[in-house]
A and B are shown apart, each in its own frame.
Chain A
Amino acid sequence: MRNILTIARMTFLLTSRNGALYSVILIIAAATGCIFFVAAGDNNLVNELTLRIQYSYAVAYSLLTLMVIAVSCLTVRSQLDGKQIHLLTTYPLTRRSIFLGKWLGLTCVAALAEITLLLALATCAMIYAKSFADEDIQLAKSVFGIARREVAPAMPSVESLTRNRIRQMIETGELSTDAVGKDTWNAVANAVRREHQLVGPNAEKTWTFDLGTTRSNGDTVALRYRFYAEKRRQIVRGAWKVAAPGKVESHEVTFAAYPYEFNTVRIPLSQIPASGKFTLTLQAQNESDLIFGLNTGLRVYCDDGSAVANVAKAFIIQLIHLSVAVALGITAGVAFTFSVASFFSIVLYLVSLMSGYFADVAAELTEGYRIALTDQLFALAIHSGIWFVKGLQPPEIIARVSAGISIPMGELGVAWLPAIVVYGALTALIGITILRCKELEKLPG
């Protein structure tokens, strides 16, 4: 371990001496500032900050990952070409220690660059906010000062609902098995989606929420909603009724809201049971249909710790991701020449960035009640490709951090962390094996 730390310290020192560290820091700070001030929103400070932080954070973080990969490749490759690693191996030092030392040192470089990115964002936000009125600034402070947990209504996916609906239709003879093609599937899926989004005139609709057993900070939780209606300027009045299973009394909050705008009502925390499970029923006095979008229509927010703690969580999560990028860069640097190594690892990262798009393509291919074999094979190929870069996928936390929403550590721990840990460990293992087993003089130069 002592040797790993020695190599790590030296790697960090050399990266700062050869200018790579300062270059990365400067580029990140400059890119963050440029994008932050170039982006523009609706001149509402909270919205402006959310939008500007999100854009600059996302672009600068992607740039940072690319630079971390390139610097890792370059560091290892130049030390192999310059025979410094050859000299190191004549010392009582395992090649695994050399690899891990370099990884640790470069991860520290990445950490410093990530801190720079976060500080640059905070600085830009403070500079920008100065041009706004005091009440706007106070409002922004109240929004961004605390992290809020976002909870979506519990409901099955549209795909599974559609599949169930089609099965029912076949069972009742409404639909024959042979008739279930792509068009039928799409028609049923649209109908299902519409049912879940639509609230008819003067109708009632209920959504179920589960806040979990973790108690929220603060006295209230916020219901944030947005709906669409036929007439944009038509005011809609009504009430939200909060009820919990097994609780006889319910709490009611009246509202008057315009379509197309985000509206917020506060629900006393005392109305939410300890289990965190409750229902929200809308009783609207509407003349025409109202549409509550599945993705943005209705969300409940509760206070969930300080914003600083949330940013610290983001830092740690992104550092884990960057450390995997470092491992990839070093492994590619050991296995290939610099140009091949940097091209290979950067392409992998870009593909990982686009994996959402590929996942949609695969989902579209496998939509339908009966899927053709070729479609299944294509989807399998795409999923395999996505799996190959899955561990490189950046954690989807930037939008949340930008909006002051707390990072769901539990969700990430299940969905993202295992993939990235396995990917990072495998990548490092491949790199260490190549460095250990291959003759040093035969590594590509």
Chain B
Amino acid sequence: MTEPAHADTAIRGHAISKVFKDFWGRDKIAALTDVDIEIRNGSVFGLLGPNGAGKSTLLKLILGHLYPTGGRLSVLGESPRNVAVKSRIGYLPERTGLYKNLTALETLTFFGSILGLSSEQIRLRSTQLLEMVGLKTAGKRLVGEFSHGMTRRMGLAQALLNDPDLLILDEPTAGLDPVGCREVKDLIITLGKRGKTIVLTSHLLADVEDVCDEILLLYGGRRQSTGSVKELLKNRNMTQLEFPNVNDLTLDKAKKILAGDVPYEQITASSPTESLESYFLKAVAQSNAEHKETAGAQMGSGVAEYLRDADYTYDSPGAIENGAKEKGVNTRHLDALAKSRTETEPTAEDAKREIDSRHLASLAESTDDTSREDNTPRQVNQQLLDELSDDRP
């Protein structure tokens, strides 16, 4: 049964149940029980849960591969089995069902023909997508010869061929190298900014946390919790403060100021560590800048032109700034790395400067964000920052 359409809802399901039956028609496994789901248009939505929680079943119901045994579900206002609505959906399956005996270009041409794209559109989009997913030089290679990660990249390219309004990604970063993971996450963020609705499942919780606005946590086929990621993850009892290195005296001074409001032993100070992801990305960017050869996937070229918003140009500094502020700093970091390939050969000093500046931006950003959200600890932070500004080494 189809759930009534709602203008601002991409997927809407009420009391969805799915029971798998045995040969004799007896109930065998209740994969989903009375699950309600509402995914707003333009949101990046994560489906989480341990193995067997019902994530894949829910995705298959949304795709029309399985039919619900109870409840109502609508996708873009239509039944999941409606063929017409599928022209607005892009899907990256967990096991990429691509034809191994076709080349990457032939694959995109085939799916493009099914979507009714003109040959010129297919040619342009294929070139841009292959460049975007880092398979520009592998366009004439058979998909069957690709590594697992390259196949995933190829699967992503096919999912984006129709510039879908609803993108369903089943384990999008599984099997990808850190560069690929970062690129996929940035792509998701960019598409999210364009108002595309994205539904993804992943066991890599950090990835989900990085990109998703909202999540639905399933366990045993039932809904455990749902809501905004920020709201669900916020620890309202603690405050984290980051700033450039200061001497011990200043640090002690800061602790003493805070000790007026919280017990002294609960205040900890330590140096933040660089994430392994950013360290890895830096190393790959360095190799790329040195034009070291690889038969595998290369760094992507950023988001394909046709997938970007009309008034959002990836290369424009303003856009980068906005994007970084809203979703994270790695977009800017990757862009800077991409630029370094074409413009100048970065030195180790340049890279360090880049990381440092990113760090500073992130510090300012997090401080800013916190002050907007919570007034009580914010007053303490502002006071602390004012005092520290005079004590910088």
Contact = CB atoms under 8 A, between A and B. Distances in A.
B97 A439 contact: no
Given A18-B101, A83-B93, A6 B66 contact: no
B67 A439 contact: yes
B110 A87 contact: no
Contacts of B102: 10, 13-14, 17
B276 interface: no
A221 B95 CA distance: 68
A17 B101 contact: yes
Nearest to B86: A92
A176 interface: no
Interface string A51-93: 0000000000000000000000000000000111111111111
Contact of B114 (A83, A92, A439, A440): A92
Contacts of B146: none
Contacts of A84: 97-99
B336 interface: no
Contact of B91 (A13, A14, A18, A90): A90
Interface stretch (B57-65, B188-196, B285-293, B343-351): B57-65
B137 interface: no
A94 interface: yes
Interface in A79-116: 82-94
A82 B144 CA distance: 12
B47 interface: no
A87 B97 contact: yes
Given A17-B102, A18-B101, A440-B65, A91 B93 contact: no
B83 A86 contact: no
A135 interface: no
Interface residues of chain A: helix, strand, loop or mixed (majority): helix
A6 B111 CA distance: 9
Contacts of A82: 97
Given A17-B102, A82-B97, A83-B93, A91 B84 contact: no
A2 B96 CA distance: 25
A7 B115 CA distance: 12
Interface in A333-352: none
Interface in A4-20: 6-7, 10, 13-14, 17-18
B89 A93 contact: no
B87 interface: yes
Contact of A87 (B84, B87, B91): B91
Contact of A86 (B20, B65, B84, B116): B65
Contacts of A441: 60, 65-66
A10 B99 contact: yes
B65 A89 contact: yes
Interface residue tally on A, bucketed by range: 20 to 34
B115 A92 contact: yes
B62 to A, nearest CB: 10
Interface in B42-98: 60, 63-67, 83-84, 86-87, 89, 91, 93, 95-98
A91 B115 contact: yes
Contacts of B116: 2, 92
A345 to B, nearest CB: 22
A205 to B, nearest CB: 66
A13 B113 CA distance: 15
Interface string A424-445: 0000000000000001111000
Nearest to B94: A83
Nearest to B57: A441
Contacts of B98: 84, 87
Interface in B276-310: none
A6 B114 CA distance: 7
A437 to B, nearest CB: 9
A75 B392 CA distance: 71
Contacts of B91: 87, 90
Contacts of A13: 101-102, 106
Interface in A362-385: none
Contacts of A85: 97
B393 to A, nearest CB: 58
A2 B114 CA distance: 8
A3 interface: yes
B85 to A, nearest CB: 8
Interface string B334-356: 00000000000000000000000
Interface string B88-132: 010101011111011000100011011110000000000000000
A439 to B, nearest CB: 5
Contact of A91 (B67, B96, B99, B111): B111
Nearest to A82: B97
A18 B101 CA distance: 7
A94 B67 CA distance: 16
Contacts of B93: 83, 86-87
Contacts of B111: 91
A83 B89 contact: no
A377 B97 CA distance: 51
A86 B97 contact: yes
Interface in B215-257: none
Report which residue of A2, A3, A85, A92 has the largest number of chain B beta carbons within 10 angstroms of its beta carbon.
Answer: A92
A7 B91 CA distance: 19
Given A6-B114, A14-B102, A17-B101, A90 B89 contact: yes
Nearest to A91: B114
B117 to A, nearest CB: 11
Report which residue of A2, A14, A90 has the largest number of chain B beta carbons within 10 angstroms of its beta carbon.
Answer: A90
Nearest to A440: B65
A392 B320 CA distance: 66
Contacts of B96: 87
A201 B280 CA distance: 107
A94 B83 contact: yes
A93 B84 CA distance: 8
Contacts of B60: 440-441
Nearest to B87: A92
Interface string A285-303: 0000000000000000000
Given A87-B91, A87-B93, A92-B83, A439 B66 contact: yes
Report which residue of A7, A18, A89, A94 has the largest number of chain B beta carbons within 10 angstroms of its beta carbon.
Answer: A89
Given A6-B114, A10-B110, A441-B66, A91 B86 contact: yes
Contacts of B97: 82-87
B83 A93 contact: yes
Contact of B65 (A92, A93, A439): A439
A59 B101 CA distance: 32
A84 B65 CA distance: 13
Contacts of B115: 91-92
B101 A93 contact: no
Given A92-B114, A93-B83, A440-B60, 11 more contacts: A14-B99, A17-B101, A17-B102, A86-B65, A89-B63, A90-B86, A90-B89, A91-B87, A91-B111, A92-B84, A442-B66
15 contacts: A3-B114, A6-B113, A10-B99, A10-B110, A18-B101, A86-B65, A86-B93, A87-B96, A87-B158, A89-B86, A91-B115, A92-B83, A92-B86, A439-B67, A441-B66
Interface of A: 2-3, 6-7, 10, 13-14, 17-18, 82-94, 439-442
Interface of B: 20, 60, 63-67, 83-84, 86-87, 89, 91, 93, 95-99, 101-102, 106, 110-111, 113-116, 158
For the complex of A and B, list the 9 residue pairs with the smallest distance between their C-beta atoms, beginning with the closest: A83-B97, A17-B101, A87-B97, A92-B87, A90-B91, A440-B65, A84-B97, A92-B86, A6-B113
